[in-house]
Amino acid sequence: MDLFNDLVIPVGSSHLTLIRLMLYISASFLFAYTGLLFGSVLLSSKAASKAKKDNDFRYQKLAQSLIKVGTGITGMWFGLGIVPFLSFILGYPQLLSGTEGDILGFLIVGLLVFSMAVASIYIYKNSLNFKSLFYSFKTNVRSKSESIVGEYTPLDEDVENTGAFTGIWGIILLIVATWFLAGATTYAYDHSLWGQSIFNMLFGLNTIFKMLLILTMGTAFASAVYMFNAFSWQGGYEFVNDEERELSKNFVRKMGLYSALLIPLIYAFQIVTIPNNALSGLMFVFGLISLLFVVFFAQSIYLSKSEDHTSGVKYGFMFIMISFAMFAAQDQQAFHISVAENLNSISEIHEKADEARHASYAKSEVEPVVDAQAIYDTRCIACHKFDVKLVGPAYNNVVPKYEGKEGDLVKFILNPSPQNPAEFPAGMPAQGLTPAEGKAMAKWLMGKVLGGGEEKAEPVAEKPTEEATAAKH
């Protein structure tokens, strides 16, 4: 993807900080939302298959509420999924520009698969709605006539199968999208993967553990959001009876607990497999905080068994969000450490380009800064000294006569006219200076020879610095 590499503009350090911030926010949203969506569709299809197996409509209802966890807010797939994915696509290549790290392809594949997963999940969601409608319709009809029910059975099966099918596809596609997401973010900080094949990236241990971590944390997240919706937010859902309430709670709570038990193990493997070039103390701190909040989450889910503590699930929901934010911070910190050198070189390139641009502005618009000493050193020194006569007169002898008439001196320097033809019959050849240079030379000469006069304030102050710079050359 060299084409895209060329499009990347080197940016300054302040912009780099901004891009890093954007990547961090995007990572938080993307990890959390991908996980949440996965947990939502996983739990929902588990509930749906239980509904089918036990022929229990209450699980059907539960499946519907569970899929709403990841899809309930209009456009959340776009704002929390597609937009951060696009920010990754814009941000990562900028920070990796000039390196071997070619991340763009992985991110694009990830985005495509993610979009397909979202499409299947929404089809699945609609099929669930339809199924519920159909089910209640059938129940109503059944109470009137058994024979009509028979006619609808094939249709029933069709609906059933579409639902299960798109649900499974949603799960598979989302796993693949998460895999690419985990792979690309790992690839960004694991330099040993650069220039290697895509399989090294996908089957690297850190990639796999990171993917599993996003999925399990997401399942925990989905169960927390369901518990929050069902039992805390605005008094919770209205269940038909306490039995249904218990059944729903136990189902989701169990899944939340299982994933909470798995997370620390996967987390440990994930951290251990981060490559050495990306390790830093801060990264471990973020990882530990993240893990700590998973423990808090597990605690609040565990306690929710008792009715008295059910409202505690709202904390569980917040804990897991914090945990995700810290996980994203850990990931971005690893990335930052591993590319720190590259970031420096990118901002250096930028700053040089910036300086060049400023210099060219200065020449064209603003009064240029002329180094009079340098002009003397290159263009006058052959014929002039201050105290000795060479081809031309000693400055100390001729410049004083221009005291108070700097304008005349400027005129002479720009366009020399014969002054002392007796001593210097050839005169002084024009030196081809610009008006600004002529002016600066005159000022400088007056300052040097007269040691002040009307120009005292400036040249005297400039003198030492000019000599200092000349001494350096």
Using only C-alpha atoms, the chain has a radius of gyration, in whole angstroms, of 37
Cα separation, 433 vs 438, whole angstroms: 6
CB closer to ligand HEC out of 138 and 379: 379
Using an 8 Å Cβ cutoff, are 445 and 384 in contact? no
CB closer to ligand HEC out of 359 and 381: 381
Cα separation, 356 vs 368, whole angstroms: 14
Cα separation, 316 vs 322, whole angstroms: 10
Positive or negative, the Cα torsion across 64, 65, 71, 73? Answer: positive
Q: Least Å distance between CB 407 and ligand HEC? A: 13
Cβ-count burial 25-39 (b if 16+ within 10 Å, e if not): ebbbbbbbbbbbbbb
Q: Least Å distance between CB 428 and ligand HEC? A: 3
CB closer to ligand HEC out of 249 and 443: 443
What residues contact 93, with CB distance under 8 A and at least 6 apart?
4, 5, 8, 103, 104
Q: Least Å distance between CB 96 and ligand HEC? A: 51
**What are the structure tokens assigned to 298, written together?**
């597990």
CB closer to ligand HEC out of 311 and 431: 431
What residues contact 229, with CB distance under 8 A and at least 6 apart?
65, 68, 69, 236, 237
Q: Least Å distance between CB 386 and ligand HEC? A: 11
Using an 8 Å Cβ cutoff, are 211 and 178 in contact? yes
**Which residues in this chain contact ligand HEC in the complex, by CB under 6 A?**
375, 379-380, 382-384, 391-393, 398-399, 412-413, 418-420, 424, 426-429, 431, 433, 441
CB closer to ligand HEC out of 382 and 457: 382
CB closer to ligand HEC out of 118 and 440: 440
Cα separation, 259 vs 471, whole angstroms: 71
Cα separation, 274 vs 207, whole angstroms: 9
CB closer to ligand HEC out of 175 and 433: 433
Positive or negative, the Cα torsion across 8, 13, 18, 20? Answer: positive
End-to-end CA gap in the chain: 44
CB closer to ligand HEC out of 343 and 449: 449
Closest by CA position to 201, among listed 217, 189, 184: 184
Cα separation, 29 vs 331, whole angstroms: 13
Cα separation, 82 vs 113, whole angstroms: 11
Q: Least Å distance between CB 99 and ligand HEC? A: 49
Q: Least Å distance between CB 346 and ligand HEC? A: 42
Cα separation, 46 vs 41, whole angstroms: 8
Q: Least Å distance between CB 363 and ligand HEC? A: 19
Q: Least Å distance between CB 372 and ligand HEC? A: 9
Q: Least Å distance between CB 431 and ligand HEC? A: 4
CB closer to ligand HEC out of 312 and 392: 392
